[in-house]
Structure 1
Amino acid sequence: MNVQHFTHEQIHLPSGLKLEASLSVPPERLAVSSEKKLAVCLHPWSWLGGRMDDPVLQSVKKPLLERGYYVLRYNSRGVGKSSGWSSLTGLTEAQDLQDLVQWALGTIEGVKHVVILGYSHGSLVTSLFPVLSEPIHTSHILLSYPLGPRSWLTAFRGKHYTDTLKTLLHHPRSNVLVVYGDQDDFTGVTDYDAWADGLEEESQGEGKGDLHVERIHGATHFWGDQNDAKRKMLEVLTEWLP
């Protein structure tokens, strides 16, 4: 089945929800692989203007395509032309993400690698996504995880997010990349470092998944061009991608 590039089209989910999405197709020489790759990208908090055309998500699209990924970006419920209402907890959005991934797996035949990439608030929803059944390999990228404001971003469901992320790290087939800047606008580097140390401790031991943490010097929450932060971040992603 020849999957075509599309922009700002609505995808109908089994729940009745319609999500506005854009799909970018990798170069033809990579798209014909028998083991296809899919990356689903989640934008920052919609209540602060987060959209699928966010500049950071636009910047990660190129390295994903160059590594052979079909790149699916979408507006979460209540954003743009997506139907429904955004929730205060992010839990409804997590179910939407699962439904969307199943739609994509049914549309793009032969997907064997799935990367869920969440930026800012999108990384919270990403952390709730479960590891898919074999033979699909599942990877998670948490970019600028909003640790500082997490409680009010999730209507004080912080413990649920903490516990679910721990469960993910304990899964033997999980593969998680965490990337943050040491000049983040919402989370101090001391708090980030302590959180990262806790994640690495959780991932230690036999039968657990793989975790990779990168702290980018000079990077803010928004990955501007100052201090060459965006380039460094993109290099980390490119080198890590399955």
Structure 2
Amino acid sequence: MLYQSHVVADMADVRHFTHELIQLASGLKLEASLSVPPERLASSTEKKLAVCLHPWSWLGGRMDDPVLQGVKKPLLERGYYVLRYNSRGVGKSSGWPSLTGTTEAQDLLELLRWAVDTIQGVKQVVIFGYSHGSLIASLFPLLPDPIQVSHVLLSYPLGPRSWLTAFRGKHYTNTLNTLLRDPKSKVLVVYGDLDEFTGVESYDAWADGLEEEAQGDGKGELTVERVHGATHFWTDQNDARGRMLQVLTDWLP
């Protein structure tokens, strides 16, 4: 089934779907899955939405990534509609991946517009990015009231960021710092101390810099969590994934 971006659905029509195409205003079609929370948790007046972004497609990243599948349960239990999607050129999604990630950031903005038109009454949005997806998530802007946007950056690929973004790392740094300085921002950063792509010393130094950016009156809310024994892939070894999910659950708006 193909969903048009300009169609505004009645709330009774919002349903669970998997691997269906959403057509954006740009003409791009993105393959997506929408999970609907239990009816008792889905507020009729103030909906909550989480949009999940997968790892780098060039290394096999897809919306059905086990980590994204794992975060779905706590999000649904907290009353979130959960939208996962394949970025451009992945699966059945049309278009071609970019080298810089900026085109994917624009796609995400258009997808969010579709979602808030379709799920009427959304007031709380969480942009959840895992690995390469966290790069794209970090570019997502805050939105005008009444929508509150929060960001989760999981296993941010700090080590390989330069070549993942065609050496535009400075742009990503500046955009994230600008976000942290905004008093409306709410950001959760989670990484493992056994990450295969970024050493824990580099992560710790980066996290210290982020906390400096967020310090002081009139700044955003930043939470940084380092999970002991966790790799980039959040395997079940050392119960790393379970502890990450608990961090997410405790933090969720």
Name the TM tier (shorter chain). Answer: over 0.9
Q: How does 1:201-240 map to 2 (within 5 A)?
A: 201-240=212-251
2:158 aligned partner? 147
2:136 aligned partner? 125
Structure 1 residue 31, shift from structure 2 partner = 1.5
1:190 aligned partner? 201
Structure 1 residue 206, shift from structure 2 partner = 1.2
Residue 60 of structure 2 corresponds to residue 49 of structure 1: yes
Equivalent of 1:39 in 25, 34, 50: 50
Q: Matched residue of 1:201: which SS?
A: helix
For normalisation by structure 1, the TM-score amounts to 0.99
2:76 aligned partner? 65
Equivalent of 2:90 in 79, 95, 98: 79
Structure 1 residue 33, shift from structure 2 partner = 3.6
> When the two structures are aligned, how many residues end up with a matched partner?
242
Structure 1 residue 32, shift from structure 2 partner = 3.6
Q: Matched residue of 2:233: which SS?
A: coil
Q: Matched residue of 1:28: which SS?
A: coil
2:146 aligned partner? 135
What value does the CA root-mean-square deviation take over the aligned residues?
A: 0.5
2:192 aligned partner? 181
Q: Residue 188 of structure 1 aligns to which amino acid in structure 2? A: G
For normalisation by structure 2, the TM-score amounts to 0.95
Unaligned runs of 5+ in 2: 1-10
Equivalent of 1:22 in 9, 24, 33: 33
Inter-partner Cα distance in structure 2 for 1:182 and 1:133: 36
Q: Percent of aligned positions with the same letter in both sequences?
A: 80
Runs of 4+ that moved beyond 2 A: none
Q: How does 1:90-101 map to 2 (within 5 A)?
A: 90-101=101-112
What's the CA shift string for 1:117-142, capped at 9, x where partnerless?
Answer: 00000000000000111111110000
Inter-partner Cα distance in structure 2 for 1:223 and 1:215: 12
Unaligned runs of 5+ in 1: none
Structure 1 residue 62, shift from structure 2 partner = 0.2
